[in-house]
């Protein structure tokens, strides 16, 4: 085990924030992970587990051991009449897994193309895009208990998935490290093209026959047209979650703001946070090294040398202005560290 000291985390978070880790180690297997956890226990420090670093905002140096999960492997473990069951190591890059699935004809995650991050982090917040969420293809996961160092298997119900939510963000926060995930993928794909601009993009590209690859290409094209590439401009995708408000509140708002978009769900009406933020005048605003993306105001960006605290302060100002104008609390999707 190669524990390094005072390592910059700039390359390990998609926001590109330059904070340091007191100790840093990459682990490629469950045994290496156990070793690292034992080392941390011995030092009496609570380690930080890092996947692709695509959903975090670093606001301070991490005076602990940062464990980067690099457990690899994409293995077809079972084939049934309708499904393939594929076990994937937590450290596998999410988009690489999507591309492998498409190449093998495994259907179900093509709409989730180009999402930054790793497979191990994907169930944490039930990643989703273009009408599909991980819970739709999830079968089970294996996670290491950080105290007992024993592996436990979780089925979908035990993960308690919700919109950008799971049990690992609540009751079991910091209790387990996800080591691998088993996905249940379709032999005969069920295409989801009703959401957003997918249909129009397919038509504009002259696609005659729907395939996993055609859908993936369309999603990639849409994402590239509005979301900044983290390799060029630091960001962590949507900074806030889309809020759901009571129907009564929505009706009142609509009488004042006729163009407010709303999507009814079982708890009320979901309102796009992007719209609320744009209405408050933040879209495309730049403040030195940080700002609000011009094509998708739900995304906060670091142009280069931005500081995590500056982004945090900007986020608070955005939240306050949305609350003052619309009486709606918007909550970050990103974890502050």
β-bridge mates for residue 69, sequence order? 27
Judged by CB under 6 A, does residue 70 bind ligand EPU?
Answer: no
Stretch that binds ligand EPU, among 2-10, 12-20, 200-208, 294-302 (CB under 6 A): 294-302
Respond yes or no: is residue 166 known to be catalytic: no
Stretch that binds ligand EPU, among 24-32, 184-192, 250-258, 267-275 (CB under 6 A): 267-275
Please tell me the distance from the alpha carbon of residue 34 to that of residue 46, in angstroms, as a whole number: 14
The encoded tokens of residue 70 equal: 């690099």
Please tell me the distance from the alpha carbon of residue 80 to that of residue 64, in angstroms, as a whole number: 45
Q: Shortest Cβ distance from residue 222 to ligand EPU (Å)?
A: 8
For 173-246, where are the alpha helices, taking DSSP H only? 198-204, 212-226
Judged by CB under 6 A, does residue 278 bind ligand EPU?
Answer: yes
Judged by CB under 6 A, does residue 296 bind ligand EPU?
Answer: yes
* Residue among 146, 196, 210, 310 that touches ligand EPU (CB under 6 A): 196
Closest to 127 measured CA to CA, from 183, 194, 43: 183
Q: Shortest Cβ distance from residue 203 to ligand EPU (Å)?
A: 18
Judged by CB under 6 A, does residue 297 bind ligand EPU?
Answer: yes
**Phi, psi of 219, deg, nearest 5:** -65, -40
Q: Shortest Cβ distance from residue 298 to ligand EPU (Å)?
A: 5
The contact pattern for ligand EPU, residues 123-142, with x = CB under 6 A and - = no contact, is ------xx------------
- Range 207-266, binding ligand EPU (CB under 6 A): 237-238, 241-242, 261
Residue whose CB is less far from ligand EPU, 105 or 272: 272
Residue closest to ligand EPU, measured at CB: 237
Q: Shortest Cβ distance from residue 318 to ligand EPU (Å)?
A: 14
Respond yes or no: is residue 333 known to be catalytic: yes
Residue whose CB is less far from ligand EPU, 47 or 332: 332
Rg of the chain on CA atoms, in Å = 20
Residue whose CB is less far from ligand EPU, 26 or 235: 235
271 in Cβ contact with 246 (< 8 Å): no
Q: Which residues contact 234 (CB under 8 A, 6 or more apart)?
A: 14, 15, 16, 17, 301, 302, 303, 304, 306
Element spanning 336, H or E: strand 335-336
Closest to 138 measured CA to CA, from 180, 192, 198, 99: 180
Stretch that binds ligand EPU, among 69-77, 80-88, 139-147, 268-276 (CB under 6 A): 268-276
Q: Can you tell me whether residue 282 is helix, strand or coil?
A: coil
Please tell me the distance from the alpha carbon of residue 90 to that of residue 257, in angstroms, as a whole number: 44
CA distances from 121 to 18, 73, 157 (A): 22, 15, 17
Burial class, 9, CB count within 10 angstroms (exposed 0-12 / middle 13-18 / buried 19+): buried
Please tell me the distance from the alpha carbon of residue 6 to that of residue 193, in angstroms, as a whole number: 47
Judged by CB under 6 A, does residue 185 bind ligand EPU?
Answer: no
What is the size of the binding site for ligand EPU (CB under 6 A)?
17
Judged by CB under 6 A, does residue 268 bind ligand EPU?
Answer: no
Residue of 164, 184, 216, 236 marked active site: 164
Respond yes or no: is residue 8 known to be catalytic: no
Residue whose CB is less far from ligand EPU, 14 or 140: 14
Residue whose CB is less far from ligand EPU, 83 or 275: 275
β-bridge mates for residue 66, sequence order? 24, 48
Contacts with ligand EPU by CB under 6 A lie at 129-130, 196, 237-238, 241-242, 261, 272, 274-275, 278, 283, 296-298, 333
Active site residues: 164, 238, 333
């Amino acid at each position: 085990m190669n524990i390094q000291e005072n390592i910059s985390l700039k390359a390990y978070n998609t926001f590109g924030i330059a904070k340091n880790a007191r100790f840093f180690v990459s682990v490629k297997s469950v045994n290496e992970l156990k070793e690292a956890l034992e080392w941390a226990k011995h030092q009496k420090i609570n380690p930080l587990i890092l996947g692709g670093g695509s959903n975090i905002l670093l606001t301070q140096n991490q005076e602990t051991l940062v464990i980067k999960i690099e457990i690899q492997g994409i293995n077809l473990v079972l084939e049934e009449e309708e499904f393939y069951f594929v076990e994937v190591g937590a450290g596998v890059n999410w988009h690489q897994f999507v591309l492998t699935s498409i190449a093998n004809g495994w259907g179900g995650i093509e709409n989730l193309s180009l999402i930054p991050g790793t497979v191990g982090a994907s169930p944490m917040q039930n990643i989703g895009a273009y009408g599909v969420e991980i819970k739709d293809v999830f079968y089970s996961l294996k996670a290491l208990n950080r105290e007992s160092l024993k592996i436990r298997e979780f089925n979908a119900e035990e993960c308690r998935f919700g919109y950008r939510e799971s049990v690992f963000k609540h009751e079991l926060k910091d209790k387990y490290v996800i080591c691998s995930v088993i996905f249940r993928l379709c032999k005969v794909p069920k295409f989801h093209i009703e959401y957003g601009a997918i249909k129009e993009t397919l038509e504009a590209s002259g696609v005659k026959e729907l395939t996993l690859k055609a859908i993936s290409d369309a999603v990639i094209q849409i994402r590239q047209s509005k979301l900044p590439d983290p390799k060029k401009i630091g960001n962590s995708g949507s900074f806030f979650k889309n809020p759901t408000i009571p129907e009564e509140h929505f009706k009142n708002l609509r009488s004042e703001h006729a163009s407010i978009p709303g999507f009814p769900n079982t708890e009320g009406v979901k309102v796009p946070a992007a719209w609320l933020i744009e209405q408050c005048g933040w879209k495309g605003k730049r403040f030195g090294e940080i700002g609000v993306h011009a094509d998708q105001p739900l995304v906060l960006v670091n142009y280069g040398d931005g500081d995590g605290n500056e982004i945090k302060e900007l986020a608070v100002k955005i939240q306050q202005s949305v609350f003052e104008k619309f009486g709606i609390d918007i909550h970050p999707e990103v974890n502050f560290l």
